Structure 1
């Protein structure tokens, strides 16, 4: 006969070793893990090349893991750090982060107890996301700049094989039982389903557009949700054969990431809509939208706590986390973090010994950015602009919305607040089918738009493109 003490020990061990706690990407039957000081919330930060580490109890940044330098240091031919830290996954035992850097073609494996880098594996051109199989034996990395998924041995950190898929794989996630891997594409309108055991494609799902950046599988093993950034839609398909499409939802311009939450109110999908600065919440049984949550500039990554009571959202153009209470669907905290957070991961029981602050450094210049707004006179908040400080220069990122779809435009400088007079082109861009775009540029832009002398100051505007040159001004800078 097993004693009560033995039963308690078995349950405790199961809780510590179990996949993730009844929340995505685990099984619905797994126990919830209440929010505690052992949990950590991570964000991969693209322009500071850092990973921020936060405590969800206090909603406080503990520090950042520095994986690389900002510009111009990372332009050196002798540079050894990571560039464009972007994607993120975590192991079933909660002890390892897999962090993808697009610009340096790498996957960095980080110990969650000590925040130390355990190994860096280099893969093909422009990897995007990485995630562990539910058994913890493999790490699948979507190599978006090519046409395969790199399969890495989780014990040796060496690539063991490649799974050929449609060119531009965007992200992969797994069924909670570990049978299937679901791989969407960022360059082709096709998601494929692959058996984890033998790496064979066994299913195909037609995407409504070619650009899928993110995908999530429901803990009950019934649904897979994926986002379409270019057309502002989210699609849902059956997680089991024949993998048929269930529904398509109009979510809004620059639809970024999706994740799934189970709480006492039911099962819900949380979708970040960058162009609207909102998170939209949908019931997973009826697909009814039940909440719209204003969160801040350009929401991107999203991940639930181990008990489903919270969702953490990375705000790409605000350098912050928004913490959402999922029972009220209200923002309860904002946490300053590094520059341009992309993927987000909430890891229950990430730290089981010590304070978990080893090898962390202060935010420092990684937290410095200038925020601007552009828009027409009637709608002044249509476009958000962040100037991420890189020393004497800044990386400009504009989340442009409110324009006509599939047309050329120019982000430009004007010497007049209303955009009148001569314009100097800064960056040409084409809007997507939803009339939005993410626009980047580099230069001493803050010094220009905040010049002390009016005669030296310039103002950012969005203008129509006429033969590649600025034409009619459509959006102007609002201080």
Structure 2
């Protein structure tokens, strides 16, 4: 499939941007911010800022300006050094993990970044590059985050403490927390901010990957959390739900997810599976004896959607962190899904109703997929190529390939204040 170069698109497209409803709804004037995409270069310790409309890289942000201080701290504390080395040897595939997840404040002046190997979250001033605040994890690794619709609260998964912290995004002060299973992972707010869809993935770095050893992976749960009191409203073991639906020996570890606009149906990737699961959070449980917190349980698997396995029989022990697929997004209209086929080097554009799919070859190890600001394009990080590929949902065609830094993983929509851009020479 033909790819359009960034340079050609930059000439063809206007640089002025009108913000989408998410930004405008918070009262930020359209002329005050510019829509961008932040690409976290995990092994490099940086974030590439890309214009969301022209696909032109604007700047590279150093996400570890305090590296010297952090390494001194790690090298002088044996427990922290042990985990730093373990992350580099295992989860990081021989590399430190410096940049994981990122979200901006709605005024486009601060970028919050989770840093796995440094076990913290920092708030970086976009104008100066200085760290405004730092929040250390209780455990030894930080992971995925989530931001509230009003842009004020930040969730961060504390990988080894089995909990999720809620922070004030402007100050880094901890507000609240909620419990998770082993290795908390994804966090997604509902549109009204009243609930949080969360999942834990268990010990994906162990070699015990065959179904017979599944229990060694720890407690893996998919749960809905009430924002009002951080209480767990519903909780499921997805492996058991899949078995009840006639799909035994599938993993309980829920990876990336995409929540439908009605917030009833959730699309879930699970460890080792090439495809995704459609889960109805409001259906009656297939097991009439099932309960949660003393009440009849709801939630049922509706469809299990296989996608091509192009690994040519590669043993699952060689899958990167148990991820056959890692990255799932849904277009703004709620009609089409975009799945990153991590071990098969493609992105799949899937019709949500018919499940027909188109395969887009993107290169080695696509590691994340997310929407651009219009909801009409899917941005896929291709970690093995140090690129991001932008795909049009309607045509399943790539529209741009953007060079970024070393091992891009998380990609997030954000904004940068216009005066900050001017200070960058943009």
TM score, norm. by length of structure 2: 0.68
> Corresponding residue for 1:434?
none
> Corresponding residue for 1:201?
232
Structure 2 residue 34 is the aligned partner of structure 1 residue 38: yes
Contact 2:99-2:116 at 8 Å conserved across structures: yes
CA distance in 2, matches of 1:220, 1:91: 26
2:382 equivalent among 315, 325, 350: 315
CA distance in 2, matches of 1:316, 1:310: 19
Aligned ranges 1:77-476 → 2 under 5 Å: 77=72, 83-91=97-105, 96-111=110-125, 117-124=131-138, 125-187=140-202, 188-208=219-239, 209-240=251-282, 242-251=298-307, 252=309, 254-263=324-333, 267-284=335-352, 286=353, 288-347=355-414, 350-354=415-419, 356=421, 358=423
- Structure number with the higher strand fraction is 1
- Structure number with the higher helix fraction is 2
Alpha-carbon offset, residue 299 of structure 1: 0.7
Contact 2:65-2:130 at 8 Å conserved across structures: no
Contact 2:112-2:123 at 8 Å conserved across structures: yes
Deviation string, structure 1 residues 143-202 (Cα, Å, up to 9, x no partner): 122211112123431112321121211111111122211111111332111101110011
Q: How many residues align?
A: 330
Structure 2 residue 55 is the aligned partner of structure 1 residue 59: yes
Contact 1:278-1:293 at 8 Å conserved across structures: yes
Contact 1:150-1:161 at 8 Å conserved across structures: yes
Structure 1 stretches of 5 or more lacking a match?
1-10, 21-32, 361-479
Contact 1:147-1:164 at 8 Å conserved across structures: yes
Contact 2:162-2:184 at 8 Å conserved across structures: yes
CA distance in 1, matches of 2:23, 2:198: 29
Alpha-carbon offset, residue 12 of structure 1: 8.8
Alpha-carbon offset, residue 306 of structure 1: 1.6
Structure 2 residue 43 is the aligned partner of structure 1 residue 47: yes
| 1:95–1:63 distance in 2 versus 1, CA, 3 Å | closer
Deviation string, structure 1 residues 353-384 (Cα, Å, up to 9, x no partner): 23626469xxxxxxxxxxxxxxxxxxxxxxxx
Describe the SS at the equivalent of 1:254: coil
Describe the SS at the equivalent of 1:98: strand
CA distance in 2, matches of 1:87, 1:331: 24
Alpha-carbon offset, residue 254 of structure 1: 2.1
Asked which structure has the greater RCO (Cα within 8 Å, sep 6+), the reply is 2
Structure 2 stretches of 5 or more lacking a match?
1-17, 76-95, 203-218, 240-250, 284-297, 310-322
| 1:336–1:79 distance in 2 versus 1, CA, 3 Å | farther
Describe the SS at the equivalent of 2:276: strand
Describe the SS at the equivalent of 2:278: strand
Deviation string, structure 1 residues 245-294 (Cα, Å, up to 9, x no partner): 3322224462001111035xx6211110111111112223x250332111
> Corresponding residue for 1:18?
25
TM score, norm. by length of structure 1: 0.61
RMSD: 3.4
Q: Which moved more, 1:254-263 or 1:218-227?
A: 218-227
| 1:194–1:262 distance in 2 versus 1, CA, 3 Å | same
Contact 1:235-1:249 at 8 Å conserved across structures: yes
> Corresponding residue for 1:454?
none
Alpha-carbon offset, residue 90 of structure 1: 4.3
Contact 2:105-2:152 at 8 Å conserved across structures: no
| 1:109–1:237 distance in 2 versus 1, CA, 3 Å | farther
